[in-house]
Structure 1
Amino acid sequence: MDKVIKKKRFSKKNILMLAGIATVVCLAGYGYSLSLNKVYKADANKVTISKVAYGDFEDVVLLNATVVPLTSVIVSSSEGGTVAEIFTENGASVVKGTPLLRIANPNALSAYTSSETSIIEQINQLRKLRLDLEQNQRVMKQDMMVIENSLRTASRKYKIDSTLFAKKVITREEFNTSSQDYDYYKDRRSILKQAMDQESQSRKMQLSQIDFSIGRMDESLESIRQNIENMTIKAPVSGRLSSYDPVIGKSYGANEMLGKIDVMQGYKLQAGVDEYYINRVKEGQRANCEINGKNYQLLVRKVIPEVTSGQFQIELVFDGKSADELRRGLSLQTKLTLSDNSKSLMLSQGQFFQSTGGNWVYVVKDGEARKRNIKVGRKNYLYYEVMEGLQKDEQVITSSYDQFNQYDIIQIKK
């Protein structure tokens, strides 16, 4: 009896065919996925790869600071003009009052001379008025002396005539004459005394005004003479001249800086700081620098917040004794401490930051680098502090991304 032979569902031939189709589909899918991702092939010698580290993050800023005197006084002229004479040179040590140079300004000198002459004339007129008042007072005193002498004579005659008239020795007419003379001189003395009192009050007021006016004019005269004298520029303090380069015939405006005098009482440091740190640098923060193998401590004394060319300026002073080797203009590498050290993930600084702003990086694994979003915090002169997105020992491209930042995958060829 014949048996029904069931046909096998999957023959070897069919299995091989299905396997081939699956392989083709996978290859097609992989090719399609590659077409969706942009791939850039980079030479390993042309990129820098850094490993994410974990350790003490030093919150410091490395600065190039310049040594300057602790105190500098600007030398300027109150009047503009041209340099007529030069008495000292740049770098010279001077004492207060030492002549430095002379400024010539014929127009200003002529105006000062004219004003001086006018004021002297006014002073002379006021002094003449004072003399006239004093002379008038002397005349009135002399008149009073004459009247009082005449009054004494008339009084004496009046008393005698009164006795004689009572005894009927003289006539009434003679007595009346004596009485009238006495009354006349008495009234005249009273009037003159009243006039002298009024004149005395007026004279005191006028003399006070004259003295005040002469005093003010003397001050103006002294100011004019001082301005003339100030055309010879003198050292306002003792110290060393710097930034001083006058040339005969060179013109300067009023109050324009002619130079500086460095008061030799110590030194400080001036440094420019990247504007990135403008909200983190405060007065009183500590710093340190090394001079001839010795470490010196510093304090931030002043923060000047105006930003110029991407930097703001700070001044630092030595916290304790400074080095004897300090000289103006010496450049010192200084570490400014912003906060205490802390344990953090750290990524080496590199030019990638200019392309990404620290928002993402290329993370390397098995010869390929792919984009990954990250978050960075503080930075110092070596590292960025990694807040999110990376793990310890992961590798990151830290060189410039300018050539391939639009690609999704970077294949690194060795």
Structure 2
Amino acid sequence: MDQPINPRFTARRRTTIALVVTAVLASVCLAAWGLNRAVGASVAADSVTIATVRAGGIANTINASGIVIPVHEEQVASPIQSRVGKVHARLGQQVQTGDLLLELDNRSVVLAIDNIREQLALQENRIVALTQELDQKRKQLASAIELLQLDLQDTRVKLGRYQTLRKAGGVSAEDLLTAELNVQRNEISLRQQQELIEDSRRATSTNIDGARLQKNILNKQLQEQQQLLAQTAVRAPFTGMLSALLADEGASVAIGQMLARVSEPNNYKVEASLSDFHARALDPGQAVLVEQGNVKLRGVVQTILPEIQNGTVKLLVVLDEPHHAMLRNKLRVEVNIITAQKNHTLLVDAGPAFNGRGPQDVFVVRDGVARKTVLDIGAGDGKAVEILTGARAGDRLITSDTSRYKDRDSVRIDN
């Protein structure tokens, strides 16, 4: 006779089956995940860039942007605030030293010169007048001194006579004293007049010296204005090409504003700009490779400009071939500053897979599978990077962007 199944047994059986099913499913998922990690996704060979590790030499470089500029270039600035009167040259023209480029309106300078000349004439007249005045005073005082000398002589004679008569009792003591005082009075007056001549001479000489000093100052001002007048005719400072010109007749110009620029033709250097992050690695004399298209020119760092603007440092590069036909004023070029040179090392073409120096995860391709491998990356020149450890010559590496596979250990390469 059949007995009913115990509910507790049925519940236990269901729980057991559920646990078994869960375990099986977990095992399947784990196996799938392990297979995925072991085998990885597949990528087409033509969707990635693969480069071969090779032996060679590499220069550690810092990349910078550069612009070609003339070795010798001069600007001509406006000496006065004026306007452009007449233009005699055209932009891009070949000019010789002293060629007239343009003329500024010089009426204000001419007026200033006339004013200074009038002031000079006034000072000349003043000097003449003071000289005549001094001579006239000297003559007047000389005449007065002659009269005083006569008076003094007369009073001395009278005093001598009174002294003789006094001994004989012919004059009183009071009369003798009066005669003595008259002599002293005349001596004092004579001395005062003589001193007055010297005082007048010194005072007038001081005024004349002041007028002459003012005349010298005016002469210097006249020379300056005459130089400004000459500079209003703007001329080429040397033989070269006219690379800039203010050619608008009637245009207003300020003092110091550039009117023209003359550049030496077919003789160039490079001004390079790069982040100040690399400033400590820069030194004058470092080798430089300048590239423009397929043309490569060598040079050296001549000067590192001391001022840093907006996080950018600038340097000047002199070229081994400054007259190369490729060079043009304001041409943009690529500048590679060589900070170190290594020979007999392992190299691979540069690509997005590499990020600076140090240990990095890179996919090495062997037997149709790319496996993640830690490589120690060294120097780089923008076209190749150095491999210090982790690979050998002949290994093939994925150099393109592999960020999609950063969580995988390997990826199949399908041809």
TM over 0.5: yes
Letter in 1 for 2:85: A
Unaligned segments of structure 1, at least 5 residues: 1-22, 173-177
Evaluate the alpha carbon distance shift between residue 25 and residue 138 of structure 1 in structure 2; reply closer, same or farther with a 3 A threshold.
Answer: closer
Percent identity between the two aligned chains: 18
- Structure 2 matches for 1:11-410, cutoff 5 A? 29-34=30-35, 39-59=40-60, 68-104=69-105, 110=108, 122-150=119-147, 188-244=189-245, 246-263=247-264, 267-272=267-272, 275=275, 278-287=279-288, 298-304=299-305, 313-317=314-318, 329=329, 337-353=338-354, 359-401=360-402, 409-410=410-411
Shift of 1:314: 3.5
Does structure 2 retain, via aligned residues, the 8 Å contact 1:38–1:407?
A: no
The 3-state SS of whatever aligns with 1:272 is: strand
Cα distance in 2 between the residues matched to 1:31 and 1:212: 105
Does structure 2 retain, via aligned residues, the 8 Å contact 1:359–1:375?
A: yes
Matched, 1:412 2:409: no
Does structure 1 retain, via aligned residues, the 8 Å contact 2:63–2:274?
A: no
Does structure 1 retain, via aligned residues, the 8 Å contact 2:358–2:376?
A: no
Evaluate the alpha carbon distance shift between residue 94 and residue 180 of structure 1 in structure 2; reply closer, same or farther with a 3 A threshold.
Answer: farther
Letter in 2 for 1:143: Q
Q: Which residue of 2 is the match for residue 7 of structure 1?
A: none
Cα distance in 1 between the residues matched to 2:126 and 2:111: 23
Shift of 1:194: 0.8
Does structure 1 retain, via aligned residues, the 8 Å contact 2:137–2:200?
A: no
Cα distance in 1 between the residues matched to 2:286 and 2:356: 32
Does structure 1 retain, via aligned residues, the 8 Å contact 2:127–2:212?
A: no
Cα distance in 2 between the residues matched to 1:90 and 1:323: 22
Cα distance in 2 between the residues matched to 1:310 and 1:367: 46
Shift of 1:396: 1.4
Shift of 1:410: 3.1
Evaluate the alpha carbon distance shift between residue 202 and residue 71 of structure 1 in structure 2; reply closer, same or farther with a 3 A threshold.
Answer: same
Cα distance in 1 between the residues matched to 2:150 and 2:30: 150
- 1:193-241 C-alpha deviation (Å, 9 max, x unpaired): 2112112222233333322233223333433444454333233344432
Name whichever of 127-136 and 306-315 sits farther off: 306-315
The 3-state SS of whatever aligns with 1:240 is: strand
User: How many residues end up aligned between the 2 structures?
Assistant: 381
Letter in 2 for 1:362: F
Cα distance in 2 between the residues matched to 1:370 and 1:251: 71
Does structure 1 retain, via aligned residues, the 8 Å contact 2:357–2:377?
A: no
Cα distance in 2 between the residues matched to 1:59 and 1:355: 12
The 3-state SS of whatever aligns with 2:72 is: strand
- 1:282-326 C-alpha deviation (Å, 9 max, x unpaired): 211235789xxxx9874321123667899754333356x976868
Evaluate the alpha carbon distance shift between residue 47 and residue 311 of structure 1 in structure 2; reply closer, same or farther with a 3 A threshold.
Answer: farther
- 1:17-69 C-alpha deviation (Å, 9 max, x unpaired): xxxxxx99987643132466895432211211112223323445788876644
Evaluate the alpha carbon distance shift between residue 338 and residue 94 of structure 1 in structure 2; reply closer, same or farther with a 3 A threshold.
Answer: same
Evaluate the alpha carbon distance shift between residue 326 and residue 346 of structure 1 in structure 2; reply closer, same or farther with a 3 A threshold.
Answer: closer
Does structure 1 retain, via aligned residues, the 8 Å contact 2:301–2:318?
A: yes
The 3-state SS of whatever aligns with 1:338 is: strand
Cα distance in 2 between the residues matched to 1:185 and 1:204: 29
Cα distance in 2 between the residues matched to 1:322 and 1:36: 57
Does structure 2 retain, via aligned residues, the 8 Å contact 1:148–1:189?
A: yes
Cα distance in 2 between the residues matched to 1:405 and 1:256: 58
Evaluate the alpha carbon distance shift between residue 90 and residue 186 of structure 1 in structure 2; reply closer, same or farther with a 3 A threshold.
Answer: same
Letter in 2 for 1:267: N
The 3-state SS of whatever aligns with 1:374 is: strand
The 3-state SS of whatever aligns with 1:146 is: helix
Instruction: Tell me the C-alpha RMSD between the 2 structures.
Output: 5.0
Cα distance in 1 between the residues matched to 2:181 and 2:41: 137
If the length of structure 2 is used for normalisation, what is the TM-score?
0.69
Shift of 1:334: 7.8
The 3-state SS of whatever aligns with 1:246 is: coil
